[in-house]
Structure 1
Amino acid sequence: MGKRRLEDAIKQIDHPIEVTYRSFELDPTIGRNIKENMYEMLAKKYGMSIEQAKANTQNMVQMAKESGLDYQMDTLILTNTFDAHRLTMFAKEQGLMKEMTERILHAYFTESKHIGDHATLTDLAKEVGLDKEAVARMLAGDEMADEVRADERTAAQYGVTGVPYYLINKKYALTGAQPTEVFVQALTQVIAEDETAV
């Protein structure tokens, strides 16, 4: 949702803007195959009832809908995302990081695909134009793990503790799924500052 709002803001600004996606795991200790659903996990983590978890999640679903996204939280499959991050790093080397990131997010939030499963990730990679066999080999080993860990260390150095988190020109931070207008204002301000500094 935050990604979509940022993209909408960039479309409103007549200035070249480069976006770099970074790796961040909300819970690196989570397993690949989780039996709990989203509501059970939230209820346990935050000490709330299942009904409260559903109500809180429904707010997010509604905000996503307003951004043109269709989140299916009832059927979302919780999993460890480390291998999905490795895949996006692999895609980055092929110039397809944006496409791979978008495809994984859609598969996870809308299609309820298991993005911790190697076969699922391999199929998604093929859809965006990556070589299926090369992706399967990469996922079977530990290739790109160092790159993901380096990204996570960089995030820690910047004080990132959650997502979404946006760092503009390595000095201005926005957190959370901000409204499109906030992104427009922030980007416009940074562009103006850069132009006066030249």
Structure 2
Amino acid sequence: MHRDRKVKILATLGPASSSPEMIRELFLAGADVFRINMSHTDHATATALCQMIRDAEAELARPIGILADLQGPKLRIGEIAGGAAELQRGQSYRLDLDTAAGDNSRAPLPHPEIFASLAVGAHLLIDDGRIRLEVTGTAQDHAMTTVLVAGTIKSRKGVNLPDTLLSLSALSPKDRADLDHMARTGVDWIALSFVQRPDDIAEAKQAIGGRAAIL
């Protein structure tokens, strides 16, 4: 089977697509590479998926790529009382290390490394950007912000800092364990989810040890 195109189609395997029949069907429909999301896949399941893909590869006599996508460090706010609170555009909002449940005036952010790196003018995106904050003041244990994009702030939602360099490794302990397992399983690519600096790539390459390519 020859595919006369210069792009590759990547398909993510999930509950509805993790059977030999569906993997074969997706490949015949045009998928070139299968992505295994290590945020939601344990080692036993990942190993089984890799074997299904390699079985399809042997049956169809056509190379099929496997990409293991590492979770990366997880930065999240803490609990909000009642699960959620409404924020208004232009209001002040405090983020701090206090573990008490948050509300519409403050939220716990249990990551000292964030407060150590924040500067006035930096932005925080919460819940995939549904909430956007701008830093107006910083301290070792808290930051004051202004709400730029209002909405509902919910418990345990992810935090992204697009213009702040954090003193964090791109590889968490879970990532290192997943990377080693998937490299030994024989995937073709390892994808990093949290890259800030060239050293992050060098660190991952050293951990991979030539057993897979890196994205």
Higher relative CO (CA 8 A, sep ≥ 6), structure 1 or 2?
Answer: 1
- TM-score w.r.t. the length of structure 1 is 0.25
- TM-score w.r.t. the length of structure 2 is 0.24
Return the structure number with greater helix share. Answer: 1
Return the structure number with greater strand share. Answer: 2
Larger Rg: 2
